[in-house]
Amino acid sequence: MNPMQAILNQMVNSPQVQNNPMAKNAMQMYQNGDSNGLKSMAENLCKERGITVDEAKQKVMSMFNH
């Protein structure tokens, strides 16, 4: 098993994911290669929070650029 697969397995089986229906659904979509489903979920989450997808991307990228 490659390192990326090991990390994904740990994430999928973690209690945080298993106890969160949205996270569990997102991981299943990722594993199934459903990029359209993930995109739609992300767009809906942004809409619910009153931000644009670009604003969300900027926030995520700023977390990695410290």
- The total of structural domains in the chain comes to 1
Q: What is the pLDDT of residue 11?
A: 87
The secondary structure of residue 52, as a DSSP letter, is -
Write down the pLDDT at residue 61. Answer: 92
Tell me which residue has tokens 């969300």: 56
Cα gap 47→5, rounded to integer Å = 31
Residue numbers of the domain that contains 50: 3-64
First to last CA, the chain: 31
* Count of alpha carbons within 13 angstroms of residue 54, beta-carbon side: 0
The pTM assigned to this predicted structure is 0.72
Alpha-carbon distances, residue 38 vs 30, 47, 49 (angstroms): 7, 14, 17
4 confidence band (pLDDT: 50, 70, 90): confident
